[in-house]
Amino acid sequence: MFFSAGTYANEITSIHLPEGVLAEKTAVGYVGAFPDILNEAAHRLKRPIALYAGPWVRSQKNAQRIPGAAIAPLTRIPEREDQYVWVEEILPLNLTFLIMSGTNAQYQNMDELKGKRIGILRGSVADAMTRTLPELRKYVVLSSTGESLSKLLQHGRIDGWLIWDIVGLENMRKFNLMPFVKTTFSYTIGPLYLATNPSVSIKEVQLWQHALREMKQDGTIATIIRQHYGNKIVAALKTTPPYSPGTPTEVEYSK
C-alpha cells in the first residue's frame, strides 16, 4: 500500500463504520455507541471528524484507499494485518450463538455446531473465521443483512446465528426478537480496533492512541457501552482476558 506525497493526509479526517445497527443515521448525524466513542475521542483531540456508515466491505476498502480515512470497529485477523495501520484497541469482540428461546439444544462451544445450519453475516468476523473451519463452513448460511438472518432464524431455516454479541443485541432490539431469542455460548475472539492507513502520520496515530487509552482508563468507554447495551455487556468487558497495549503497525510511511 503506497500513498504519494500528493495524497499524504497527516491527520485522521474521516472514520468509516458499518451501516445499520452500530451506526444509525438520523437528522442530527449518526447515533450509537461507536459514534459516541469516536466523537468523544475527537472532542478530546479538539478537532472535527466526519463519520460515514456504509456496507462493511465498502467501508473497509474506503479506509484502505482514502487519505486520512480510518475504520472502526475492526478485528485484527491475519488476512487484514498488512492492510491497515492498527491504531488502538477499543473493545473486545465476543462472539455468541443466538437461538430461538423454545429450542432445547444447549450449545457449549463451536465443536457442537458441527452439522448445524449456522447463520452468518457476510463480511463479518464470523464469516472470516469459519473459512478456516471446513467442518463448520459447509453448514454456513451467509446473508448480507441482519433482517434476512433474523427471518431465517424465526422460520427455522437456520439453527442459530453466530454473531458479535453487541450486534446480536442490536438486531434483537431492531427486529423485536428480544422475547424470542436467547444466547448460548460466548467467547472472546480478540480486540476490536480503530485502524487507518499509511497516509496518516505516526504522531497522529499516537494522539488517537492516547485519547482512546485515556477513555478506557477513566471509564468513559464502559459508561458509553452501559448507556447503550446495559450491564451485561459491560460485565463481559471486565471478564475479557487482557491484551497487550496496541501499537502502530510497522509500515513504510510515505514522506
Instruction: Write out the DSSP string of the chain.
Output: ----GGG--BS--EEEEESBTTBEEETTEEESHHHHHHHHHHHHTT---EEEEE-HHHHHHHHHHSTTEEEEEEE--GGGGGGSEEEEEEEEEEEEEEEETT------SGGGGTTS-EEEETTSHHHHHHTT-HHHHTTEEEES-HHHHHHHHHTTSSSEEEEEHHHHHHHHHHTT-TTTEEEEEEEEEEEEEEEE-TTB-HHHHHHHHHHHHHHHHTTHHHHHHHHHH-HHHHHHHHHSPP-PPP---------
pLDDT of residue 232: 52
pLDDT attached to residue 113: 93
Q: Is the pLDDT of residue 105 over 70?
A: yes
pLDDT grade, residue 8 (50/70/90)? very low
User: Which of the listed ranges 40-44, 74-78, 124-128 does the model predict with the highest average pLDDT?
Assistant: 40-44
Residues 142-175: pLDDT tens digits? 998 888 999 999 999 999 999 988 888 878 878 8
- Residue 188: the pLDDT is 83
Predicted TM-score (pTM) of the model is 0.73
